[in-house]
A and B are shown apart, each in its own frame.
Chain A
Amino acid sequence: MKIRAIALNTFKEAIRDRILYLLFFFAAISLAFSRLLAVLTVGDRVKIIKDVGLASISVFGVLMAILIGTGLVYKEIDKKTIYTLLAKPIPRWQFLLGKFFGLALTLFIMILAMGTVFLVIVLLHTGKLESRLLLAILFIFLELVLITAVAILFSCFSTPILSSLFTLSFYLIGHLSWGLETLVQKTRSGAARAVIRGLSAILPDLENFNFKTEVVHGLAVDPKFYLFSALYGLVYTMFILTLAVLIFKKRDFV
């Protein structure tokens, strides 16, 4: 009940924030731009629309998650609204989870809006609805949920600007860390290889959520892989949230 109240209030706050609409506006422009790019392309135009469209949803989704996610917890502390809130009988972990679900709900609505614009554009171009595109969008959403958890974790102890940078780094590392796997194979066994292997185990692999190429080019995907990715997202998100709660629990609100 309390988590729900906090989540809905967080949703209200995010949805009344102008930055969200600004980002949505640019996402819509970017989606429309994919159509223009297609006109200029030699070859399969539909693929360009899908490719640029999904990438736009992903990029603007991440921007929303970072910009809103890093601000919200910090703002509560900075503006001291958290004083009266935590003086009420609410355990701190419930407060943090409420924030998280509120943000996840906000992102869900935004993804839904961007996804609708995207599907309409594709529909206008091809004349048919493709359910696999929805699948790709769903996994973009799962990635955003994880990014949100990371943004909340950093904003538990750091300022919005630093948190944004940290979260952005997490995102970039997450999308490049698959290269370490390749590196492991190319390195001779020894200390260096052990270190690289360790790193690749610890660092997030956000490419797990990336089904864009497969979907755009109509490649087959083993259903097991979908399941693995979903589980990976769930476990990683829970891990990050637990970490955030542990830090938040010990904090003094001076």
Chain B
Amino acid sequence: MSNQMAAVLEIDNLHKAFKVGFIPKKREILKGVSLSVAAGEIYGYLGPNGAGKTTTLKCVLGLIFPDRGTIGLFGRPALAAKAKERLGYLPENPYFYDYLTAAEFLDFYAQLFGLKKREKKEKIAALLRLVGMEKARDLQLRKFSRGMLQRVGLAQALINDPDLLFLDEPLGGLDPLGRKELRDIIVRLRQAGKTIFLSSHILQDIELICDRVAIIVGGRVISQGALQSLISEKVLFTEVTVSGLDPADLVDLGEPVSTAGDRILLKVLQEDNIDNLMALVQERKGRIHSLVPRTETLEDIFVEMVKQG
């Protein structure tokens, strides 16, 4: 890989098994995960539930100890305190000390990084502004909604101005507006030179912002690369909604998907057939209501891979 030099996170052949049950039985969660994240990119770590996304993250952060394999952060072994100084982490479904107010909570975490008093105050105010939680500054966290906790969670992950940010399912629990805002924040953080490692199973959002992705299924990374190289630009089929036509005439042109009133939704596979369809519509004085070419999405690839995996 060409950007190997600037890799901020390097995971090699990571294995982890947990013992479960009363009579301990080994369950392998990670079966040799390897990946490499370059400086300054947004890296999507995708996989279905239970694939091992969070377990990988926890190994990197030193919350659990891998059985085998190596993890390098900024060219040092992970777990080094020096490396941790430069990390930020937002866990999945974050939950924080509910007896603290948002400001107290951030202040506590700021102390853990040894921030000076003035620095601390400015930082906390700036972060609360960034995540849009200024009004909730003096509210106890127990009164927060999930989306609000997610925002404060992002603020705590940024308290040390980290170079590498781990976000575990950051868009969960957010409304559409909140998602858009968070996406914008993530993109802005990349512009500020940060590297972002994003684990998620919500694909639409990832597709819009990730530079590269890795897909993990059943404890193995089965694909890794730039999004463009994974998704082909080719038009797979075109969805056309027409009205004023006889369904019997359309059989040769495409596959009728549904009808509502006299509107027919048609899935047209060959591009030549679109011209034929348009000609037919003109001839019969019908109407075209919509025409949507569908390219391959990350979701298609994902579903395909999970099926194979």
Contacts and interface: CB of A to CB of B under 8 A. Distances in A.
Contacts of A88: 84, 109, 112-113, 160
Interface in A58-117: 79-91
Contacts of A89: 81-82, 84-85, 112-113
Given A84-B156, A88-B113, A89-B84, A13 B99 contact: yes
Nearest to A98: B112
A221 interface: no
Nearest to B159: A88
22 contacts: A2-B111, A4-B111, A6-B112, A9-B100, A13-B97, A80-B93, A80-B94, A81-B97, A82-B63, A83-B63, A84-B94, A86-B62, A86-B63, A87-B61, A87-B84, A88-B109, A89-B82, A89-B85, A250-B65, A252-B65, A254-B18, A254-B64
A79 B158 CA distance: 21
Task: Give me the 7 closest cross-chain CB pairs, A-B, nearest first.
Answer: A5-B111, A89-B84, A252-B64, A87-B89, A87-B61, A89-B81, A253-B63
A16 interface: yes
Contacts of B111: 1-2, 4-5
Contacts of A2: 111-112, 114
Contacts of B81: 89, 91
Contacts of B62: 86-87
Interface of B: 18, 58, 61-65, 81-82, 84-85, 87, 89-91, 93-97, 99-100, 104, 108-109, 111-114, 153, 156-157, 160, 166
A132 interface: no
B49 to A, nearest CB: 15
B112 A5 contact: yes
Interface in A1-52: 1-2, 4-6, 9, 12-13, 16-17
B94 A9 contact: no
Nearest to A4: B111
B168 to A, nearest CB: 9
Contact of B99 (A16, A80, A250, A254): A16
Contact of B95 (A5, A12, A80): A80
Given A5-B112, A84-B109, 7 more contacts: A4-B111, A79-B95, A82-B63, A88-B113, A89-B82, A89-B84, A254-B58
Nearest to B108: A9
Interface of A: 1-2, 4-6, 9, 12-13, 16-17, 79-91, 250, 252-254
Contacts, number: 78
B84 A84 contact: no
B27 to A, nearest CB: 11
Contacts of B91: 80, 83-84
A16 B58 CA distance: 31
B52 to A, nearest CB: 12
A80 B87 CA distance: 18
Contacts of A83: 58, 61, 63, 89, 91
B123 to A, nearest CB: 15
A51 B63 CA distance: 49
A31 to B, nearest CB: 28
A13 B142 CA distance: 13
Contacts of A9: 97, 100, 108
B97 A90 contact: no
B108 A5 contact: yes
Contacts of A254: 18, 58, 64
Contacts of B113: 88-89
Given A84-B89, A87-B84, A252 B112 contact: no
Interface core residue of A4, A13, A80, A89 (most chain B CB under 10 Å): A89
A79 B96 CA distance: 8
Contacts of A1: 111, 114
B229 to A, nearest CB: 32
Contacts of B90: 84
Nearest to A252: B64
Contacts of A16: 99
Nearest to B80: A89
Contacts of A250: 65
Contact of A12 (B82, B93, B100, B166): B100
A24 B25 CA distance: 46
A4 to B, nearest CB: 8
For A79, A86, A88, A91, which residue has the most chain B Cβ atoms within 10 angstroms? A88
A17 B98 CA distance: 11
Nearest to B29: A254
A2 B115 CA distance: 11
Nearest to B99: A16
